[in-house]
A and B are shown apart, each in its own frame.
Chain A
């Protein structure tokens, strides 16, 4: 199915095709919303609940969306706020209880590669958990959305330079912790 543009989805909604418009939103943005929640909260059950809460808020408020920003920016801002709320009241997470459903595309390869990939996911998520909440959300939004500083800043409601600072510090921290764990896997380029 060709994905609809933001404007087409809004038009569908305004025409009263609420269910169809919402279904398209889930098809287009559901995976990103879930990944943002999952990597921010590092808990599958919480991420599912946060995703659902976010989409409920999106559905209830879509009629009020005036198009001042991109639809995705508006949606991910809601997701970010929901994740913040969950972080405030989160319970301790047992990392061992987590089981990741892998992206089919990344499942291709030998069993060793699949095992290595799964290990990398866990390392990445564990490393992200060590970051302060704002850095965690910033880097998740940045890499799971458009890789745009401006969009990330708009979603977070923070000045551009502040977000760049969050990302810089987050990447430095992640590189430090992941380099120890993944350095041999990626063989990164030399300076």
Chain B
């Protein structure tokens, strides 16, 4: 009866059993940086969400913070209301600001989901580019 395998035998066995990275898989892996660019300064993934908060920030600034700081903003507020309310008379400025924010936030969320989707790479690009489908 044979003796049990020892550590050296295991090492030899595992070493010989190693396989190379298949070329088509290597090609798939190399596409990842092209399909998933890292965020840069002008990346929409952070610019759009931040921009979506702009109306709310302006509303807060004009109606709450500036008066608190003693800055007279009555004329500016009435100018802003005159600009918007003739078009949407039933809505107040806060409601308009919140609606615009939600709208832009939903767009930015959609962009974020799309750009970060792993399935986009796995299902569409990775296998397609290397002829696996």
A103 to B18, Cβ gap below 8 A? yes
For residue A54, which residue of chain B has the nearest CB?
Answer: B29
The DSSP consensus for interface residues of chain B is helix
Please tell me which one of the listed residues B3, B6, B11, B29 contacts residue A147 in the complex, with CB atoms under 8 A apart: B11
* A101 with B19, Cβ < 8 A, contacts A52-B122, A179-B4, A191-B3 known: yes
* A60 with B36, Cβ < 8 A, contacts A34-B25, A190-B3 known: yes
Question: For window 35-74 of chain B, which residues contact chain A by CB distance below 8 Å?
Answer: 36-38
| Cα–Cα, bound, A18→B2 (Å) | 52
Report, as a range, how many residues of chain B touch the other chain.
35 or more
- Asked if A182 is an interface residue, CB under 8 A from chain B, the answer is yes
* A31 with B20, Cβ < 8 A, contacts A26-B29, A143-B10 known: yes
- Asked if B91 is an interface residue, CB under 8 A from chain A, the answer is no
Please tell me which one of the listed residues B7, B11, B26 contacts residue A30 in the complex, with CB atoms under 8 A apart: B26
- Asked if B30 is an interface residue, CB under 8 A from chain A, the answer is yes
Question: For window 1-32 of chain B, which residues contact chain A by CB distance below 8 Å?
Answer: 1-7, 9-22, 25-26, 28-30, 32
Please tell me which one of the listed residues A23, A56, A59, A144 contacts residue B14 in the complex, with CB atoms under 8 A apart: A144
A27 to chain B, nearest CB (A): 9
Interface-side segment among A66-74, A150-158, A169-177: A169-177
CB-defined contacts of B3 to chain A, threshold 8 Å? 179, 183, 188-191
Residue ranges of B at the interface with A (Cβ–Cβ < 8 Å): 1-7, 9-22, 25-26, 28-30, 32-34, 36-38, 116, 118, 121-122, 126
Which 8 residue pairs are nearest across A and B when measured between Cβ atoms? A183-B2, A143-B14, A19-B33, A175-B4, A175-B5, A30-B21, A121-B17, A22-B33
30 A-B Cβ contacts within 8 A?
A22-B33, A23-B30, A30-B21, A31-B18, A31-B19, A31-B21, A44-B22, A48-B25, A48-B28, A51-B29, A52-B32, A53-B118, A55-B29, A55-B32, A56-B36, A59-B33, A100-B19, A101-B20, A104-B20, A144-B14, A174-B5, A175-B4, A175-B5, A178-B13, A182-B5, A184-B2, A186-B13, A188-B3, A188-B9, A191-B3
